Amino acid sequence: MLLYSLDTDATFAQALAVNLGVTLARHENRSFEDGEHKLRPLLDPRGSDAFVIHSLHGDLEHSPHDKLCQLLMFIATLREHGAARVTAVVPYLAYARKDRQTKPFDPVTLRYVAQLFDAVGTSQLIVLEAHNVAAFQNAFRCMTLHLEAHRAFDQLACELVGHGALAVASPDPGGVKRAQLWRESLEKTLLRPVGFAMVDKRRSAGVVSSENLVAGDVGGMTVLLIDDLIASGDTMRRAAVALRRSGALEVVACAAHGLFTGPAADALADDSIAKIVVTDSVPPFRLPLASKVRSKLSISSAAPLFALAIKACHGAWSR
């Protein structure tokens, strides 16, 4: 197995390498004056089972487009030089939110990204908590493996809640299945009933509106509010306010990917949100260190989930 990381912040990659008991393979990433890049492996990949880590969130140095291009070119390079199989390990998949047409002449960007991965010879793709699992799985022709973020939150959720009444909620109708799956998982883990709720939400032309309607009983309960990502934080804030008005004792906002864009620090500082839990798929670099929201934030590593998936994939291929 060859494990490469193209991430500038190698924290997640190093944690994954430790969980796998391997060392990250060396590669060259050379920048040119005009912004172009040259990436090449420094070990012969011929006949190898190669895994390439790259989380496709924008950061202070590179946009999602830059990272996507680098990942695709590196996969193509590995295949060019004889890698038997190349798996893209993508904790955060950019462009996954645009998976259907909602306006005239809309793009279906997720499908276009899938076509690019197919074009360079990607053998399989491993991602954490895609925006829409069905759309993600249907977009790709190569093998895909979708990891559910709630598996990274289970232990922390048990510690936060203790023996009190508990419910899992979705901040919008689109995330109902995600919340239901976590509810079912927690009931098996805790061996007791877990409630369920959904908050009404509508979006048009980027503007969110809702009547703050809550379907489900959350009175006197700690509510685990789960979504695939937190961007501006407004969806989580609105949902938390609605849940508290419906009698929730406390709301813990959980998301696989903490993008924390724009006014997120202010939105998430709202007292309706007691705690925030995200994975390490995206470093929380956009949140000011001195902000109130930092004291609420906990990070649960998804590296063990990816390690288990990679071990299973590599083991099946090696047999």
Predicted structure pTM score: 0.93
Q: What is the mean pLDDT of the chain?
A: 92
> Over the stretch 97-140, which tens digit does the pLDDT of each residue have?
988 888 899 999 999 999 999 999 999 999 999 999 999 999 99
pLDDT score for 208: 55
pLDDT attached to residue 211? 58
Torsion 144-150-151-153 (CA) sign: positive
CATH architecture for the domain at 150-300? 3-Layer(aba) Sandwich (3.40)
Range(s) of the chain covered by CATH 3.40.50.2020: 2-148+304-318, 150-300
Reported as a single tens digit per residue, the pLDDT across 181-195 is 999 999 998 889 999
- Tracing tokens 């990942």 back to the chain, one arrives at 71
- Between CA 191 and CA 199, with CA 196 as vertex, the angle to 5 degrees is 160
End-to-end CA distance of the chain: 13
Residues 195-224, buried b or exposed e (16+ Cβ, 10 A)? bbbbbbbeeeeeeeebeeebebebeebbbb
Non-local (6+) Cβ contacts of 52 within 8 A are: 4, 5, 6, 71, 74, 75, 78, 86, 87, 88, 89
pLDDT digit of tens for each residue in the chain (319 aa)?
A: 999 999 988 899 999 999 999 999 999 999 898 888 899 999 999 999 999 999 999 998 899 999 999 999 999 999 999 999 999 999 999 999 988 888 899 999 999 999 999 999 999 999 999 999 999 999 999 999 999 999 999 887 778 777 789 999 999 998 999 999 999 999 998 889 999 999 987 655 555 555 578 999 999 999 999 999 999 999 999 999 999 999 999 999 999 999 999 999 999 999 999 999 999 999 999 999 888 899 999 999 999 999 999 999 987 776 6
Q: Which fold has domain 2-148+304-318?
A: Rossmann fold (3.40.50)
Q: What is the DSSP letter of 144?
A: E
Asked if residue 108 lies in contact with residue 138, where contact means CB atoms within 8 angstroms, the answer is: no
DSSP H helical segments within 121-175, as ranges? 133-139, 150-161
Backbone angles phi, psi at 124, to 5 degrees: -160, 165
